Structure 1
Amino acid sequence: MKDHDSRPIGVFDSGIGGLTVLKELALQFPQESFLYLGDTARLPYGSKSGHTIRKYSEQNIEFLKRQDVKAIVIACNSASTQVPESEFAGLPVYNVIGPGSQRALEVSSGLRIGILGTRATINSQAYTKRIHSMNPKAQVFDQACPLFVPLAEEGWDSDPVTNLIVFRYLSTLMQNQIDTLILGCTHYPILKNSIARVTGSSIELVDSGEAIADWLEEDFIAGRLQRRKDPAPRMVTVSTTDSSTHFTELAHRILKPVKADEFRVVDLV
């Protein structure tokens, strides 16, 4: 068995939000190459049915497999609710539900955990079920925030309108005296400053990117994944299913200080 694998790690999301996960992974694993797929032509996923989200996710995985990736990271909470498998098409698969739930339980002081997510994620109850399977004593409170994704996609992370909408969504959730809040959509860390203004410093914010990096590191150590040991510089490639200058500009801002080596538009089939 080889002790190295120079193939890239595949990461996909419906749009720009998964770049928050890509950034964290690229910082944690500076020797690894990454291939990101943003399905911008079919954004958003969170308002679609589970059947449609599953179909889109399978198409994304098959595309990344054809690019010869060594693992798949589903950097989309809505897609993660529909692809629970730890392996798909012969590749290791990582979704954000398990890592996010585990991190929340680790940092929660009183086991009162809030979840923000798209309607698809909240309606699936995936986080609630996973958290209760890990610790039945945990109390979980959730809130769908359908306007967060378009705000993040628009780049309105510091806009006064965003602050008002964040307050509107979180005000009810905060009445439950939560001590930990899962940002249950990879777009939401883009709005992290606005969210933190409402929650204050006493509530722990759980970011999917940081949590999933821990799981990858565990599997590198355990040998489920092999590290890249190529002396050539690693590559970070960002692919989208629709062309957008706005996406590219916002991507550079989200990824900084990570540098994307190539942006390209692709067809999934």
Structure 2
Amino acid sequence: MSFDPRPIGVFDSGIGGLTVLRELLKNFPDENFIYLGDTARLPYGSKSADTVRKYTEQNMNFLKGRDVKAIVVACNTASTQVFETEYEGLPVYNVIDPGSELAARMTENNRVAVIATRATVKSESYTKKIHAHKPEVEVFSAACPLFVPLAEEGWHDDPITNLIAFRYLQGLKAQDVDTVVLACTHYPLLKTAIQKVFGNHVNLVDSGEAIAKLLAQDFSSQRLNKNNKSGDKLLICLTDAGTQFEKLALALVGDFTDQRIVFETVSVI
């Protein structure tokens, strides 16, 4: 077996993609990763499709310049504008495909809710992909734009967060859904508040867990070659540095890696 020590690049508009990175660190402890948070242009969910695609290409070009062996688009809004499985020869993974497949497989009553940014809801990407796997599923969608700043602020289990979650989600709860897709990588940070609204009997689909399974398949098929030993540092690149991001990043991924976490301010333009 041949080994490839190059890192896997992961990017998001902000801190939400660290929920994906966390799952990848848990599942692939011998791999190297570079994380890019485009914090200077957060949030993506309110931007036009053309702008999101432009930002996405700039982020992928940045990671390609860091000699990654694959790119994980750990942002649902960006994933709505990623239509290729390779970018300039590099394997590309978006979070919509595995999340949709998992939701279609998990639902028992064929009633699925998708909560996301406005841009992701407008694209109907999840509805189309879920129907491709299971046409009989009814898909109900709701935009929850305030969830992103709440996650960025670190208010993951807060009375205000609980109130906002109830306000956004009570209509979906009334639809008797049994599966809810957290279609923004910031939203797993608010799992506690979201689960309180729907109840513990409802499945929450975390795209980080789904994409880890997809990478595992590609390591097995050798579409990707494994690394046999991780390096000594985990590099987190930000387009706009901030102590709040660094504090939350250390809390989110610090327990899932033995590597030294290094922050670097970068430009992707």
TM-score of the superposed pair, with normalisation by structure 2: 0.97
Structure 1 vs Structure 2 CA RMSD: 1.1
Q: Which residue of 1 aligns with 2:81?
A: 82
Q: Which residue of 2 aligns with 1:22?
A: 21
Cα distance in 2 between the residues matched to 1:128 and 1:105: 10
Cα distance in 2 between the residues matched to 1:233 and 1:132: 41
Q: Which residue of 2 aligns with 1:49?
A: 48
Q: How many angstroms does 1:111 deviate by?
A: 1.5
- Alignment equivalent of 1:252, drawn from 250, 253, 262: 250
Q: Secondary structure of the residue that 1:261 maps to in structure 2?
A: strand
Q: How many angstroms does 1:49 deviate by?
A: 0.3
Q: Which residue of 2 aligns with 1:220?
A: 219
Structure 1: runs of 5+ lacking an equivalent: none
Stretch deviating more after TM superposition (78-87 or 256-265): 256-265
Q: Which residue of 1 aligns with 2:176?
A: 177
Stretch deviating more after TM superposition (20-29 or 153-162): 153-162
- Alignment equivalent of 2:234, drawn from 230, 233, 236: 236
Q: How many angstroms does 1:4 deviate by?
A: 1.2
Structure 2: runs of 5+ lacking an equivalent: none
Q: Which residue of 1 aligns with 2:268?
A: 268
**Per-residue Cα deviation, 1:1-48 (whole angstroms, up to 9, x for no partner):** x72110000000000000000000011000000000000000000000
1:136 aligns with 2:135: yes
TM-score of the superposed pair, with normalisation by structure 1: 0.97
Cα distance in 2 between the residues matched to 1:104 and 1:253: 28
Q: How many angstroms does 1:234 deviate by?
A: 5.3
The answer (yes or no) to whether the contact 1:31–1:234 under 8 Å persists in 2 is no
Q: Which residue of 2 aligns with 1:59?
A: 58
**Per-residue Cα deviation, 1:95-129 (whole angstroms, up to 9, x for no partner):** 00000001111211112110000000000000000
The answer (yes or no) to whether the contact 1:158–1:194 under 8 Å persists in 2 is yes
Q: How many angstroms does 1:175 deviate by?
A: 1.1
Q: Secondary structure of the residue that 1:185 maps to in structure 2?
A: coil
Aligned residues: 267
User: Which residue identity is paired with 2:99?
Assistant: G
Q: Secondary structure of the residue that 1:237 maps to in structure 2?
A: strand
